[in-house]
Amino acid sequence: MKLIAPVPITDAVMGASSLEENDTDDAPLWTAGAKAAGDRVRRPNHRVYECVVPHNATSAAVDYPENNSTGESRKWIFVRPTNLYAAFDSAKRTASVANGEVLSWTLTPGVRVDSLSLFGVLASAVRVRVTVAGVIKYDRTQSLRLRNCRSWSEWFTKPIAFRSDVSFTDLPMYRDAIIEIIVSWPGNIPQVGEIQIGRYDYLGAVKWEPSIRTVDYSENEPDQWGTIEFRPGESVRVVEYDLFIRNEDVDEVVRLLTKAKSAPRAWLGSPKFGALNLFGFAQDFQLVVRSPAGSFVNLQIRELT
């Protein structure tokens, strides 16, 4: 089990991209002046807000949308992050959407990182390239195509499916690395829900028999004749793992898991089963120091949308 603690993506980290801040919303930068209901603006925090109460905004901080978007007397509501930063907002449901067949970012973390995970991906391939002082140190492409066919008939007729998550955990660790992320889908519009970049911590070995269940937020209500009306909602995974860890790592694992209960992380439970890799938080864990040979951890991870 690998746990990635993300590096915050700030203006200093963000470099060139195929996206612009204002790709998907007609949202100019906020300025003081008259605001009408329905007006959308964006702020330096890379968020888009919509005016709900007409007013004349001054340049005072109390009139900034981010300071006036909660409570009963709010004048603004938060709509979404800007398209450029949507993939870095710790939520998969707000995706960065390409304006063509390719979606790309160039990041300079400024610290040593070795891992990169993408979640909620709609694309056919993801390429990661690491450059240091103009020299390419790493260049790897992963296809997201799934061809799980049981017969020749399925091979030729079954629609091609795609993985929605992909991870790279072997990036060379240079402090001055420039990391390019290139997401492509020929003939289609790719998008990415969440990107986590950082350095992974190894927690322990995942034992066989991890379990996966889903929590569905859809609403299905029958009427008086028994007809059911379906109102689709989000569905999230809750994955339960049993880990074997070294006794020497007990304190460190407890520290990492405690910290991960209050902030989302990338959890990589298996390189073979994609369903065991998810973006979420530690809902619960229990550690038992079983014997001098090692300890066991029961860990529940809840996916975030």
Whole-Å CA distances, 112 to 16, 108, 138, 173, 228: 20, 10, 14, 5, 53
- Among the three residues 180, 200, 220, which one is the final residue of a domain in this structure? 200
Query: What local confidence, expressed as pLDDT, does residue 25 receive?
Result: 63
| Tokens linked to 290 | 């079983």
In the chain, how many domains are there? 3
211, 251 contact by CB (below 8 A): no
Start-to-end CA distance of the chain, whole Å, equals 21
Query: Which of 172, 200, 228 represents a domain boundary (last residue)?
Result: 200
- Asked if 258 and 181 sit in the same domain, the reply is no
Are 15 and 143 part of one and the same domain? Answer: yes
At position 61, the amino acid (one-letter code) is A
Instruction: List Cα–Cα distances, 36 to 40, 51, 69, 247, in angstroms.
Output: 9, 7, 15, 62
Question: What per-residue confidence (pLDDT) applies to 156?
Answer: 87
Q: Domain boundary at 155, 184, 200, which?
A: 200
Q: Do 298 and 246 reside in the same domain of the chain?
A: yes
* Alpha-carbon distances, residue 221 vs 198, 216, 227, 235 (angstroms): 44, 14, 8, 17
Residue 23: per-residue pLDDT: 64
Q: Give the range of the structural domain holding residue 275, as residue numbers without chain letter.
A: 205-303
Residues 14 and 163 in one domain: yes
Regarding whether 209 and 160 lie in a shared domain, the answer is: no
Residues 98 and 174 reside in one and the same domain: yes
pLDDT at 232: 85
Residue closest to 80 by CA, chosen among 47, 52, 120: 47
Q: Are residues 72 and 91 in the same domain?
A: no
Sequential pLDDT tens for the chain (305 residues): 999 989 999 999 999 999 988 766 678 889 999 999 999 999 999 999 999 999 998 888 888 999 988 888 899 999 999 999 999 999 999 999 999 999 999 999 999 999 999 999 999 999 999 999 999 999 999 999 987 888 989 888 888 899 999 999 999 999 999 999 999 999 999 999 999 999 999 999 999 999 999 998 888 888 778 888 888 888 899 999 999 999 999 999 999 999 888 889 999 999 889 999 999 999 999 999 999 989 999 999 999 98
Cα–Cα distance for residue pair 147/144, rounded to 1 Å = 10
DSSP letter assigned to residue 301: E
User: Do strands 166-168 and 96-97 pair parallel, antiparallel, or not at all (unpaired)?
Assistant: unpaired
- The whole-number pLDDT of residue 305 equals 87
